[in-house]
């Protein structure tokens, strides 16, 4: 793709992505989910330590159990697929940097999903029940730190809106 065209495509995807909280009753293709994970693992990480680990949840029963652990139960219960994102503590080397890497990985996944026609919602509120989530997913408590749950599905409501302050609000100074 010409550089100019791909520049436009990247901006379209970054600006067009919205958190989607309602999904069509259609299971996304496994191929697409694997592509999303592939986008995640190409995120940068400190020392290239790639500390992220994933759990893909297709099971209705598990989704229902996870839904009980968050006030966003409707999103979790109805999401056609969930991806749990964790840090492998054995792979970690620096708290802040490893969390930043996980954030980059998650954002890559959200953007890739949007490019593939899927809607996502980054769910953090459920972290208050991290140890119960690990119990439900059958993960060893000590080995993994939970970062987020990502809900994924074909978007039902395409009219999601969001706002940002203007750049002026964020710019401390130019020197």
What does the binding site for ligand FMN look like in residue numbers (CB under 6 A)?
Answer: 18-19, 21, 72, 121-125, 160, 162
Q: Phi/psi class of residue 48: alpha, beta or left (left: φ > 0; alpha: ψ in -120 to 50)?
A: left
The SS3 of residue 12 is helix
Choice between 96 and 175, CB closer to ligand FMN: 96
Q: In angstroms, give the least distance from the CB of 78 to ligand FMN.
A: 12
Choice between 29 and 157, CB closer to ligand FMN: 157
Q: Phi/psi class of residue 47: alpha, beta or left (left: φ > 0; alpha: ψ in -120 to 50)?
A: left
Q: In angstroms, give the least distance from the CB of 171 to ligand FMN.
A: 20
Q: In angstroms, give the least distance from the CB of 76 to ligand FMN.
A: 9
Choice between 130 and 160, CB closer to ligand FMN: 160
Rounded to 10 deg, the angle between the 95-115 and 3-16 helix axes is 100
């Amino acid at each position: 793709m010409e550089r100019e065209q791909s520049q436009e495509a990247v901006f379209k995807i970054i600006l067009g992505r919205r958190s989607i909280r309602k999904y069509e009753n259609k299971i996304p293709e496994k191929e697409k989910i694997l592509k999303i994970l592939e986008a995640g693992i190409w995120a940068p990480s400190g020392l290239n330590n790639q500390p992220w680990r994933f759990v893909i949840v297709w099971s209705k029963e598990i989704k229902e159990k996870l839904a009980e652990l968050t006030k966003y139960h409707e999103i979790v219960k109805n999401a056609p697929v969930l991806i749990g994102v964790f840090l492998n503590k054995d792979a970690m080397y620096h708290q802040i940097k490893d969390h930043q890497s996980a954030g980059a990985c998650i954002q890559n996944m959200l953007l890739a999903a949007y490019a593939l026609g899927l809607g996502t919602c980054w769910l953090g509120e459920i972290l208050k029940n991290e140890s119960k989530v690990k119990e439900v997913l059958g993960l060893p408590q000590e080995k993994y730190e939970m970062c987020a749950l990502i809900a994924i599905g074909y978007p039902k409501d395409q009219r999601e809106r969001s706002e940002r302050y203007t750049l002026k609000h964020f710019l401390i100074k130019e020197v």
